[in-house]
Amino acid sequence: MSFEQWKQSFKQDALLNGINPLLFDQAFQKITPDSAVIKLDTNQPEFTRNIWDYIDNATSAKRLKRGQKLLQKHRELFDEIEKKYGVQREVIVAIWAMESDFGRNYGSKNVVRSLATLAHHARSEKREKFAEEELLAALHIIQNNKVNVGSLIGSWAGAMGQPQFMPSSYQKYAVDYNKDGKVNIWETEADVFASIANFLKESGWRELEDWGVEVNLPRNFDWKLNTSAYELRFVQWRYIGVKNANGQSFKQPQRLASIFIPAGRFGPVFLVTHNFHVINKYNKSLSYSLGVAQLSQLLAGGESIRIAWPRSDEALSSEQIKEIQRRLNEFNHNSGEVDGKVGSKTREAARTWQIENGFAGDGYVGIDLLKKLQSQNK
């Protein structure tokens, strides 16, 4: 299907969903597929990025220093937003930093063009549907809020403004905090901060809780407990030998938490609470969630991660990850789509396979797992 054919088909859907035909034509005037978006969408990195490299960047000294400076600069504004939304200012600033480098880099793409390109060139029906739904939301934003199509600027994937909201998230969570009649997440910092806070609040943020804590596991740890679906209270984790990495007692011991092992049993281990999973709703990457959690903790004067990362571990290539996924599927452990990306299904499949075969079930998808899977196949 040509782009013009796709556009005419989508136009019919848009009109059925309340979009004014004149507005549609104006929004799509001179719109053509963006080859840069196609390239970014189809190019998968040859090697994955180790989580410690991600965390190092997320919590760099330069980023921490700038974040602290901006917290002080906007202190009174954050006083108001914390009171209204119940979200800690350090978490808001950490997300702001991660999403757009404190508003300095939120992309320069026309969101309508990017989403139209992604919808037309989608590699699956699911991705096409997602892009078209977001594109429809973008058109409603233009129509209902009288935002010029040229003002909808964002990333190649369609995420907009300093908080990097997809159009549907903008509709649900973006806030005109300064009450100037515009919901401006591109230029107005008050709107940016309040919108991030509103997203977290509406996603279930608990005001009086933190995101979790680094812990040490006992030698006889039951690896069947290593799953986000299994929660115990901190006091119960302590009873079975899980201890705070800094040696202190757990705060709020009646809270529920689950184990999170991002880089295997020889790296840092965490007990993560409800709020960690709320951060994960903002961005589905667990590396991102931990990056926000750690940066916010440091901005609040908290501790750095104590246990060293397994930095000698080599990064897996996408083809190696695909091999792991294929082999797990062959052993009847559903790792999901063989896509060369480590998601929750791949980690859970790895964990259950490890336990079934007498290994520590840390769910770590690394070179050691690949070698074990290859060995079992011989």
Residue-wise pLDDT for 63-115, tens only, equals 999 999 999 999 999 999 999 999 999 999 999 999 999 999 999 999 999 99
Sign of the dihedral through C-alpha 66, 69, 70, 71? positive
In this model, does residue 207 exceed pLDDT 80?
Answer: yes
User: Tell me, what's the pLDDT at 147?
Assistant: 78
User: Tell me, what's the pLDDT at 117?
Assistant: 97
Distance, in Å, from the CA atom of 242 to the CA atom of 253, rounded to the nearest integer, reads: 12
pLDDT tier for residue 377 given thresholds of 50, 70 and 90? low
Helices 189-202 and 75-85, packing angle to 10 deg? 30
Q: Out of 72-81, 124-133, 170-179, 262-271, which region has the weakest mean confidence (pLDDT)?
A: 124-133
In 3D space, the residue among 166, 188, 210 whose CA is nearest the CA of residue 302 turns out to be 210
Q: Which two tokens stand for residue 293?
A: 């959690």
Q: For residue range 25-77, what is the model confidence (pLDDT) as tens digits?
A: 999 998 999 999 999 988 766 667 899 999 999 999 999 999 999 999 999 99
DSSP letter for 303, please.
P
Distance, in Å, from the CA atom of 108 to the CA atom of 137, rounded to the nearest integer, reads: 19
User: Whole-number mean pLDDT of the chain?
Assistant: 94
Q: Against a cut of 0.85, is the pTM above it?
A: yes
User: Tell me, what's the pLDDT at 45?
Assistant: 65
